[in-house]
């Protein structure tokens, strides 16, 4: 069982250190989420949204450790869609790969939509009634095209431009937190809108995915996805990842507190948390507090923050699509690297085309972020099982494990990922299962023609993963998150946790058998 590295992998430039990886991770996470997620989280959970951020942050720290372990064991560009396939086989790899592809395809237009939603305060005609106008769609497509063109220049140019944006993206949120708390602190907000938990404790769990909180942390995998271009993956990827996650979590919690205490209490008294409807939340609250200079600064940063994320994520998401091409889940030419620039340019162009389609279908940041959060949880589950088994793979280039107890961490992260899928709600689980099933049928028809017997063998190896996703959806149908409410909390979440742990055990056992049998066959050959 040999390494999957081929000539295209060797063309990638290994020039990134931990400062650049940390900056790229921070910029990718600190994008449109800080502008809008606090607003939508408060709509769903009220002041309890702070707890939602802590839950999302805890999940992200676990995921960051998982991806760091994978990146150190086997540095691969687009590794988040390649590691699950290496450990658990083609079927699990296909599910994770398609989930990742959907997630990145909706996240990119999400950043562009956030920029225009904020810009609607001064650029009229781009955003109206909660969605982009035809003119706004055209502007968003042009913005995405510019980011693709800039990424054509190469990975070093990408990192240098991003490092400049980080400084600006740190300062503005800090100023907002300090000024809102100093100028607008109103403890009455904890009671006026219906108390600390106006929609119940379950709303804090739903907000993690439905309000875009998980989507806001999606960039946690950026250093790992770029590990094939890191100078020293063992040092640079974990350090860059943890520094970025820590800084972003503190920023998001602070911004949520600032939003809660800064919102005028008379506005809350009229509408309650769920009725607050602001297109440019932090800029408008600054106006309410007579901080006109801050409102202007926020509007400027509303272009720089998601713009920087759009630019950076355009680069690392092309590595995900590149990985899908390398694993034959997309046509092989998509997995080629341009020799002179070291950039997978065809993957960049495909991402641009698919993102444009999703932009035309969904023209709201809230919708796009919510969809991305569901599929992101599936990607995290796939990475968790890979982290628990990759040290057994004989083909990995680095044999010394980074984490001693990666299997335990993998089990915790896998279980938490299943819970995030459940908390996203029955409707998203139902739609997600249908979308994944349709994509997998398409994959089998296109890529597995004439190999149905082999395809069925691969599917049997990965049924444990599909069973987990379907099982969570069934519990969701009867659960308390948009379902029939026949299974109340905490019993619904406990049942999902049991399903996840059983599936994880089956996944580890299957991965062991697969790796050992494949290695034995290779030795015999």
Q: 168 or 448: whose pLDDT is higher?
A: 168
Bridge partners (DSSP) of residue 343 are 338
Where along the chain do its domains lie? Answer: 25-375
* Helix (H) / strand (E) containing 225: helix 222-225
CATH class as words, domain 25-375: mainly alpha
What's residue 469's pLDDT?
Answer: 94
Q: Which residue has the higher pLDDT, 498 or 214?
A: 498
What rounded mean pLDDT belongs to the chain?
82
Mean pLDDT of 307-330: 73
User: Alpha-carbon distance 252 to 258, whole Å?
Assistant: 10
| Cis bond before residue 43 (omega within 30° of 0) | no
pLDDT(151) > 80: no
Report the distance separating Cα 387 and Cα 221, nearest Å.
Answer: 13
How far is residue 20's CA from residue 225's CA, in Å, rounded to a whole number?
A: 13
Question: What whole-number distance in Å separates Cα of residue 480 and Cα of residue 488?
Answer: 6
pLDDT tens for 256-303 read 999 998 888 888 888 889 888 888 899 999 998 899 999 998 888 888
Q: What is the CA radius of gyration of the chain?
A: 22
d(CA 160, CA 41) in angstroms, rounded, equals 33
pLDDT digits (tens, 9 = 90+) for 411-447: 999 999 999 999 988 988 998 899 888 887 777 776 6
pLDDT (mean) for 379-407: 81
CA dist., res. 381 & res. 402, Å (int): 19
List CB contacts of 374: < 8 A, sequence separation 6 or more: 209, 421, 424, 428, 429, 432
pLDDT band for position 449 (cuts 50, 70, 90): low
């Amino acid at each position: 069982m040999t390494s999957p590295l081929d000539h295209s992998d060797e063309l990638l430039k290994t020039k990134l250190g931990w400062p650049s990886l940390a900056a790229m991770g921070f910029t990718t996470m600190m994008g449109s989420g800080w502008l809008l997620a606090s607003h939508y989280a408060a709509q769903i959970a009220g002041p309890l949204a702070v707890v939602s951020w802590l839950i999302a942050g805890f999940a992200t720290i676990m995921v960051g450790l998982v991806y760091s372990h994978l990146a150190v064991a086997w540095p691969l560009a687009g590794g988040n869609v390649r590691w699950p396939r290496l450990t658990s086989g083609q079927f699990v790899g296909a599910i994770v790969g398609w989930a990742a592809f959907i997630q990145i395809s909706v996240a990119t237009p999400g950043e562009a939509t956030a920029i225009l939603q904020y810009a609607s305060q001064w650029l009229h005609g781009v955003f109206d009634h909660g969605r982009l106008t035809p003119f706004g769609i055209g502007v968003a497509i042009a913005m995405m095209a510019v980011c693709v063109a800039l990424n054509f220049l190469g990975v070093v140019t990408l990192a240098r431009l991003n490092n400049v944006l980080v400084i600006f993206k740190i300062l503005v949120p800090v100023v907002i937190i300090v000024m809102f708390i100093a100028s607008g602190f109103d403890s009455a907000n904890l009671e006026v809108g219906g108390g600390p938990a106006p929609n119940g404790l379950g709303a804090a769990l739903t907000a993690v995915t439905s309000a875009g909180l998980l989507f806001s942390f999606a960039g946690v995998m950026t250093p790992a996805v770029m590990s094939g271009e890191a100078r020293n993956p063992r040092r640079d990827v974990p350090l860059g990842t943890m520094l970025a996650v820590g800084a972003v979590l503190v920023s998001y919690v602070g911004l949520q507190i600032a939003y809660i205490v800064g919102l005028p209490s008379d506005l809350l008294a009229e509408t309650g948390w769920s009725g607050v409807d602001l297109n440019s939340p932090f800029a408008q609250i600054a106006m309410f507090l007579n901080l006109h200079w801050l409102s202007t600064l926020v509007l400027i940063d509303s272009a720089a923050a998601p713009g920087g994320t759009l630019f950076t994520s355009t680069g690392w998401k092309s590595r995900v699509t590149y990985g899908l091409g390398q694993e034959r889940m997309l046509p092989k030419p998509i997995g080629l690297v341009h020799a002179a620039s070291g950039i997978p340019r065809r993957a960049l162009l495909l991402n641009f085309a698919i993102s444009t389609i999703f932009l035309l279908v969904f023209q709201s940041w809230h919708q796009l972020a919510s969809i991305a959060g569901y599929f992101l949880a599936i990607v995290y589950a796939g990475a968790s099982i890979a982290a628990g088994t990759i040290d057994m793979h004989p083909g990995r280039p680095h044999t010394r494990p980074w984490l001693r107890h990666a299997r335990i961490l993998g089990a915790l992260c896998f279980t938490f990922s299943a819970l995030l899928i459940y908390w996203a709600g029955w409707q998203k689980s139902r739609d997600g299962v249908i979308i994944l099933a349709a994509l997998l049928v398409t994959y089998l028809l296109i890529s597995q023609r004439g190999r149905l017997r082999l395809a069925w063998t691969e599917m049997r190896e990965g049924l444990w993963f599909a069973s987990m996703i379907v099982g969570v959806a069934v519990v969701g149908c009867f659960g308390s998150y948009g379902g029939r409410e026949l299974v109340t909390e905490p019993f619904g979440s406990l049942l999902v946790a049991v399903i996840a742990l059983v599936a994880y055990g089956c996944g580890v056992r299957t991965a062991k058998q697969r790796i050992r049998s494949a290695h034995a066959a290779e030795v015999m050959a």
